[in-house]
Structure 1
Amino acid sequence: MTRNRLILAAAGGSALLLALAFGFQHLGGLPPCALCLWQRWPHAAAVAIGALALAVPGALPALFGAAAAAATGGIGLYHAGVERGLWAGPESCSGGAPVGDLSVEELTAQIMAAPVVRCDEVAWAFAGLSMAEWNALLSFALAGLWIAAALRAWKV
């Protein structure tokens, strides 16, 4: 496969994963948690990098695309660990915000302002893997496509 086809496949994969995320949100009624939203930004960057990489020759744009895909994969792994209870997630979406010396009014305000969607609960799973786990797996595969595109640019 040529460099440009690999770039199209990798950027298109990120675009597809973004479309699926928005589909689950807007058509499936599954609002995203904070970590779900964090995973979307590198995919959007990969799509933009893909457009740039088609116009700019060489390996560097593809390496930036690989970094974006690996970043969302890393966030997906982190999110999967939070879902599986391997480590704590951000206090803002895992229910662990400190109470400290809050008054009843402050505590009530904090509860009312808390996000509805928790990062430590699996909203949807397929074949035993959560959306975060699927995102990590597929994103690392996309990073591989980006790396293959960079290697093609180097004629390796």
Structure 2
Amino acid sequence: MLQTPSGILAQRLALAIPLGLLGGAYLSEYGFGLFPCEMCWWQRWPHFAAVPLALLSFWVAPKRVWVALAGLAILASGLIGGFHAGVEYDWWEGITGCAVTAVPVGGSALDAVMDAPMVRCDEAPWDLFGISLAGWNFLISTLSGVGIMALLTKDARNDAN
């Protein structure tokens, strides 16, 4: 029932991690002009799924199942981010034709399409300490997903005792 501190922490992380990462993605997009490529969007979809799953865990039983599903979605985003980071670092080849035209908001639609930059999946538009945004998503989401599952396992063991 998520009554132990580890279960409650898992539940809160399952909501906070995807909200924080999606918030960061949208801040980088709309605040700093770092438009997402196709694989960037692939990383967002599991986080979009994790948020309502985590929210369900606050009201709908069995709570542990909803948190686990949110944790798996977060982990899936991390694995996609790992694949994307590998493409950016030229460790392996990505999906052919993976590029998106970034359409800025405002102005005429024709001008927006004609002046929009092409966002490639194999080029990191920004990095911190040599780690791209996809790499950071891999690290944060994978560690968080595994951590949530570990906390749920600990919570289940405590419930059994």
Q: TM-score range by the shorter chain?
A: 0.7 to 0.9
Structure 1 runs not aligned, ≥5 long: 95-111
Structure 2 runs not aligned, ≥5 long: 100-113
Give the share of equivalent positions with the same residue, in percent.
36
- Given that residues 3 and 153 in structure 1 are in contact (C-alpha distance below 8 angstroms), is that contact kept between their aligned partners in structure 2? yes
Supply the distance in 1 between the matched residues of 2:120 and 2:32 (Cα, whole angstroms).
17
Q: Which of the residues 136, 151, 154 maps onto 2:153?
A: 151
Supply the distance in 2 between the matched residues of 1:38 and 1:59 (Cα, whole angstroms).
26
The residue number in structure 2 matching 1:139 is: 141
**Secondary structure of the equivalent of 1:70?**
helix
Describe how 1:4-153 pairs up with structure 2 within 5 A.
4-55=8-59, 56-93=61-98, 116-153=118-155
Query: How far 1:14 sits from its partner (Å)?
Result: 1.0
What is the identity, as a one-letter code, of the residue corresponding to 2:7?
A: R
The residue number in structure 2 matching 1:102 is: none
Which structure exhibits the higher relative contact order, with contacts defined as CA atoms closer than 8 Å and separated by 6 or more residues? 1
Supply the distance in 2 between the matched residues of 1:63 and 1:154 (Cα, whole angstroms).
12
TM-score (norm 1): 0.80
- Given that residues 11 and 54 in structure 2 are in contact (C-alpha distance below 8 angstroms), is that contact kept between their aligned partners in structure 1? yes
Q: 1:102-145: CA deviations, max 9, x gaps?
A: xxxxxxxxxx9xx8100000111001100000000000122033
What is the identity, as a one-letter code, of the residue corresponding to 2:83?
A: Y
- Alignment: residue pair count: 139
**Secondary structure of the equivalent of 1:117?**
strand
Query: How far 1:43 sits from its partner (Å)?
Result: 0.9
- Considering only aligned residues, what root-mean-square deviation do their CA atoms show, in Å? 2.2
